[in-house]
Structure 1
Amino acid sequence: MGEWIYEIVRQGGYLGIMFLMALENIIPPIPSEVIMGLGGIAVARGDMHFWPLLFWGTLGSALGNYVLFLIADRLGYERLRPFIDRWGRWLTLEWHDVEVAGRFLRRHGHWVVFVFRFMPMFRSVISIPAGLAHMGHVKFFAFTFVGAAIWNVALILGGKWLGQTLAQAEQWLGWATLAVAVVTVVFYVWRVLRWKPRSE
């Protein structure tokens, strides 16, 4: 399974990495850990180089987050609330959660955007309250880019080590991708079935 994913990453090149990393932040087809991990394996095998991989992967991650930021920034609280109220069950989210995230961001400042880049469950989500708070665009992009770059360095080096240590490293990452996808779907279904708005 891992071989075809590796071939997609390798043949897509750096622009393919950028596209996958941008898409991963909006509609996650493959986790960023797998994308950059496979990129690290490609570095170990001489199919890619570290610095271009880091730059294009980080740019894709920043652009994907910026899309979410722009949507929230343009919609604002008033127009986003009806959407959350209507689709909250399927998002397993309600307006109270958005307000809590917004207050947390305002209380702790823009560094929250940077710190959350190291938290798998919140890396993309934090872009929404940042947009709702109308954080400066340049500041948001810069904090996101730097935070994503640090995280991607760790992922690339981890993938490179795996590629140098295991002959079939992409197989391990392939099965890891499948396991993550299954766990994510099961967890989402469980959340939807168990989710109830606070008003109930």
Structure 2
Amino acid sequence: MDVKWVIDLMESFGAPGAGLAIALENLFPPLPSEVFLPLAGFTASQGGMSLVAAILWTTAGSVVGAVVLYYVGALLGRDRVRAIAAKMPLVKVSDVDKTEDWFRRHGRATVFFGRMVPIFRSLISIPAGVERMPLPSFLAFTAAGSAIWNTALILAGYFLGENWHVVERYLGVASKVVLGAVGVAVVWFVVSRLSRSKAQERR
């Protein structure tokens, strides 16, 4: 993918430019944060912006983009969102459906963990809006998950320097680990709830 326009943004506006790139990545999922964030870290290592500013601005950009999609889901509803997704290039309706199903099965925690999974990272905001998840909770989970994801990738790019682009190769494995962790957490939650219910029935 040609990232020249992202480089131009960062060179022209510094950390706010990186934040704008990440906001756009949230609104248009095919744009890869797996590329933008390590690139921001590399730019910081070259003195183009401060490391702290890069993390703060990209996290702010993540939250802004997520809030826009939250309100898209809240205002348009499921059917209209699917119809719009069907007309967007590089966006699969099946991805929207999978994300919505994931949200319904696993609840609010998906807003946090979903920030660390490609495609889901952006789309998870839509079912949160459709289901009218309380906005304060949505903002808190989004900011926390985004801060962790952004910090990890920016630091990787910062320390890898000119080899920042290798980060993208390993993120598929990392995303599977996160999905696995979510699955384990959900199973633990269900088992603990069932055990608690049985214990109460015995009393």
- Provide TM-score, normalisation by structure 1: 0.69
Change (3 A) 1:4 1:143: closer
1:54-65 → structure 2 map (5 Å cutoff): 54-65=55-66
| Structure 1 partner of 2:143 | 145
Change (3 A) 1:34 1:85: closer
CA distance in 2, matches of 1:118, 1:143: 12
Q: Quick one: which of 114, 117, 134 aligns to 1:116?
A: 114
Counterpart of 2:132 in 1: which secondary structure?
A: coil
| Structure 1 partner of 2:40 | 39
CA distance in 1, matches of 2:145, 2:53: 17
Which structure carries more relative contact order (alpha carbon 8 Å, separation 6+)? 1
CA distance in 2, matches of 1:20, 1:44: 18
Give per-residue Cα distances to partners, 1:87-128, cap 9 Å, x unaligned. Answer: 63765326xx63x64454233221111011111121011111
CA distance in 1, matches of 2:109, 2:81: 28
Amino acid across the alignment from 2:117: M
Give 4+ residue runs of structure 1 displaced > 3 Å after superposition. 1-8, 85-92, 100-104
**TM superposition shift of 1:22:** 0.6
After superposition, the CA RMSD in angstroms is 2.9
Amino acid across the alignment from 1:10: E
Is 1:154 aligned to residue 152 of structure 2?
Answer: yes
Count of matched residue pairs: 164
CA distance in 2, matches of 1:6, 1:45: 13
| Structure 1 partner of 2:178 | none
Segments of 5+ residues of structure 1 without an aligned counterpart are: 177-200
Segments of 5+ residues of structure 2 without an aligned counterpart are: 169-203
Among the aligned pairs, what percent are the same residue? Answer: 37
Amino acid across the alignment from 2:118: P
Is 1:93 aligned to residue 93 of structure 2?
Answer: yes
Give per-residue Cα distances to partners, 1:15-47, cap 9 Å, x unaligned. Answer: 211111111111257421222212111221222
| Structure 2 partner of 1:129 | 127
**TM superposition shift of 1:135:** 0.3
| Structure 1 partner of 2:75 | 74
- Provide TM-score, normalisation by structure 2: 0.68
**TM superposition shift of 1:73:** 0.8
